[in-house]
C-alpha cells in the first residue's frame, strides 16, 4: 500500500521525526504568509509536473491545481534551508537485512546525482551510535539520530517495503523532511488496522470474497479453499465466502480472518481447513481461539501438518471441534 505524503509524515511524527506544520485540505483555507502547496497523489515526479509550489497565495494555487483534476492538497509552512540530502530504508535482497541508502544530494534530480552509499543495519541489533556517526560523516550533516532511528522503526514495526525522505532539509534548527514516500507491505496490513483507521483507510484482504451462503469458509491456499467450498456445496451446504489466510499465516492473521468471516451476520457456522506446511498448526489454533472468544459462533477445524498435535491440544482445551479428515469436518458443520 502506497501512502500519501501526509500519511507518511503522520508516521514520521509517530516515531519522533520532526515534520513541518501543515494542513490537509480539499479546498480553500485560511493561511497567512508563504507556504508550500502540494498535490496529494500517489505518483512521483510532482515537482517536475508543477504539483508542488511555493506561494504567498495559497488559495489561488489550490484553485490552479484543481483545474488539473487534483482534489486533495497538503499545505505546509515554508522551511528555509541551504542544503538537501536524501535518506531511505529498504530491504537488502542479498543479506535480507534493512539497508539505509544515503546521498549528500536530495531533491528532484536525485536519480542523476550519482552519489549514493548503502549502509546495512542488521535487524538483530538495529541502528547503533557508530552507524549514525558513519552516516553523518558521509553526508556532512549532524543530528540525524532521530531520523535514522525513526526510519528504521517504521521499516521494521510497520512492515514497510520502502521509507524515503527526499529531500531532507538541513536547517539552522536541525533536519526536517520536506517529503515522504512510504510503501507498506500489503500482506502485513492486517497488523496495522489502528493506523489505517486513523488515516481513513480500511483493510480488506484481497483473498476475501463474500457469497450468499451461511457457512463461513477459511483455508490456506486458493486451491484448498476452493476445494473446501466445493465439498460444502456437494454435501448440501452453501458457502458464505472465500477466505484464504495465505501461506505461513500467524496467530494474528488467522484471528483477523476468522473474525472477518464470523462478523458476517449471514454466517451461522465457520469451517476452517488448514494443511500446515510453513503454516504452523499451533499458531492457527491460537488465532482461532482468540477469534472464537470474540465472535462466539461454532467453528469446525480440519487441522493437519506442522505442530498439529500442539494445535489439537489448544483447540480441545477450548472446546473447539477439530478433525484430521476434511469430509468429517464438513459433515459436522452442515448438521
Look at residue 15 and tell me if it is in a domain: no
Domain assignment of residue 311, yes or no: yes
Whether residue 110 is contained in a domain is answered as yes
pLDDT at 107: 84
Residue 167 inside a domain? The answer is: yes
Kindly state whether residues 71 and 100 are assigned to the same domain.
Answer: no
The tens digit of pLDDT for each residue in 199-236 reads 988 766 557 899 999 999 999 988 999 999 999 999 99
CA 218 – CA 314 distance, rounded (Å): 19
What digits encode the pLDDT tens for the residues 91-142? 999 999 999 999 999 887 776 667 899 999 999 999 999 999 999 999 999 9
Residues 31, 129: one domain? no
- Per-residue pLDDT for 12 more than 80? yes
**Same domain for 270 and 157:** no
Interval 253-273: pLDDT, tens: 999 999 999 999 999 999 999
In sequence order, the β-bridge partners of residue 219 are 244, 273
Q: How many other C-beta atoms are found inside a 10 Å radius of the C-beta of residue 145?
A: 16
Same domain, 230 and 138: no
In the predicted structure, residue 9 carries a pLDDT above the cut 80: yes
Question: Does residue 144 belong to any structural domain of this protein?
Answer: yes
Model confidence at 195, pLDDT cuts 50, 70, 90, reads: very high
Average pLDDT, the chain: 94
Number of domains in the chain: 3
Residues 55 and 99 in one domain: no
Whether 241 and 311 map to the same domain: the answer is: yes
Same domain for 64 and 101, yes or no, is: no
The dihedral sign for the CA sequence 143, 147, 153, 155:
negative
Name every residue whose Cβ is closer than 8 Å to that of residue 238 and which is 6 or more positions away in sequence: 211, 212, 213, 214, 215, 232
DSSP single-letter state for residue 271: E
Q: Give 26-42 pLDDT, tens digit per residue.
A: 999 999 999 999 999 99
Are the C-beta atoms of residues 103 and 117 closer than 8 Å to each other?
yes
Of the residues 4, 6, 86, 190, only one is catalytic, namely: 86
Identify whether 167 is preceded by a cis peptide bond (ω within 30 of 0): yes
Note whether 216 and 191 are same-domain residues.
no
Q: Strand 299-305 to strand 321-323: parallel, antiparallel, or no bridges (unpaired)?
A: parallel
The answer, yes or no, to whether residue 250 has pLDDT greater than 80, is yes
Query: What local confidence, expressed as pLDDT, does residue 111 receive?
Result: 66
Q: What are phi and psi of 302, to 5 degrees?
A: -90, 120
**86 flagged as catalytic:** yes
Question: 323 and 215 in one domain?
Answer: yes
pLDDT computed for residue 249 by the predictor: 86
Q: Is 7 a member of any domain? A: no
Active site residue 164: yes
Q: Pairing mode, if any, of strands 83-92 and 209-210?
A: unpaired
CATH number of the domain encompassing residue 249: 3.40.50.261
Range of the domain at 38: 21-77
Set 7, 164, 283, 308: catalytic member: 164
Cβ-count burial 262-291 (b if 16+ within 10 Å, e if not): bebeebebbbbbbbbeebbbbbbbbbbbbb
Distance CA 323, CA 303 (A): 6
pTM of the model: 0.69
What pLDDT does 204 receive?
A: 63
Q: Rounded to whole angstroms, how far apart are CA atoms 250 and 254?
A: 6
Residue 81 has pLDDT above 90, yes or no: yes
Strands 269-276 vs 299-305: parallel, antiparallel or unpaired: parallel
Both 317 and 211 in one domain: the answer is yes
Same domain? 238 vs 326: yes
**Portion of the chain with pLDDT greater than 70, in percent:** 98
Query: Does a structural domain hold residue 170?
Result: yes
- Check whether residue 229 and residue 308 sit in a common domain: yes
Out of 160, 183, 199, a domain closes at 199
Amino acid at each position: 500500500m502506497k501512502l500519501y505524503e501526509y500519511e507518511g509524515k503522520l508516521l514520521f511524527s509517530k516515531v519522533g521525526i520532526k515534520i513541518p506544520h501543515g494542513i490537509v485540505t480539499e479546498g480553500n483555507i485560511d493561511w497567512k504568509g508563504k507556504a508550500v502547496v502540494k498535490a496529494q497523489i500517489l505518483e512521483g515526479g510532482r515537482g517536475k509536473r508543477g504539483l508542488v509550489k511555493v506561494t504567498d497565495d495559497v488559495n489561488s494555487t489550490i484553485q490552479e491545481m484543481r483545474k488539473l483534476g487534483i482534489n486533495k492538497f497538503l499545505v505546509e509552512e515554508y522551511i528555509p534551508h541551504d542544503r538537501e540530502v536524501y535518506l531511505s530504508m529498504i530491504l537488502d535482497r542479498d543479506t535480507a537485512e534493512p539497508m539505509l541508502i544515503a546521498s549528500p544530494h536530495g531533491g528532484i534530480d536525485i536519480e542523476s546525482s550519482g552519489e549514493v552509499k548503502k549502509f546495512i543495519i542488521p535487524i538483530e541489533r538495529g541502528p547503533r551510535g557508530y552507524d549514525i556517526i558513519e552516516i553523518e560523516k558521509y553526508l556532512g550533516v549532524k543530528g540525524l539520530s532521530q531520523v535514522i532511528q525513526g526510519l528504521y522503526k517504521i521499516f521494521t514495526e510497520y512492515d514497510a517495503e520502502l521509507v524515503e525522505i527526499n529531500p531532507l532539509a538541513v536547517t539552522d534548527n536541525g533536519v526536517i523532511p520536506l517529503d515522504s514516500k512510504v510503501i507498506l507491505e500489503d500482506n502485513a496490513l492486517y497488523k496495522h488496522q489502528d493506523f489505517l483507521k486513523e488515516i481513513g483507510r480500511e483493510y480488506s484482504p484481497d483473498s476475501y470474497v463474500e457469497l450468499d451462503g451461511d457457512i463461513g469458509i477459511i483455508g490456506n491456499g486458493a486451491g484448498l479453499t476452493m476445494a473446501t467450498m466445493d465439498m460444502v456445496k456437494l454435501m448440501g451446504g452453501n458457502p458464505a465466502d472465500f477466505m484464504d489466510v495465505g501461506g505461513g499465516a500467524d496467530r494474528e492473521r488467522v484471528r483477523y480472518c476468522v473474525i472477518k468471516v464470523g462478523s458476517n451476520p449471514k454466517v451461522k457456522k465457520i469451517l476452517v481447513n488448514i494443511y500446515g506446511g510453513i503454516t504452523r498448526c499451533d499458531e492457527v489454533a491460537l488465532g482461532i481461539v482468540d477469534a472464537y472468544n470474540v465472535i462466539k459462533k461454532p467453528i469446525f477445524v480440519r487441522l493437519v501438518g506442522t505442530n498439529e498435535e500442539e494445535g489439537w491440544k489448544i483447540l480441545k482445551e477450548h472446546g473447539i471441534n477439530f478433525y484430521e479428515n476434511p469430509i468429517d469436518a464438513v459433515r459436522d458443520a452442515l448438521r
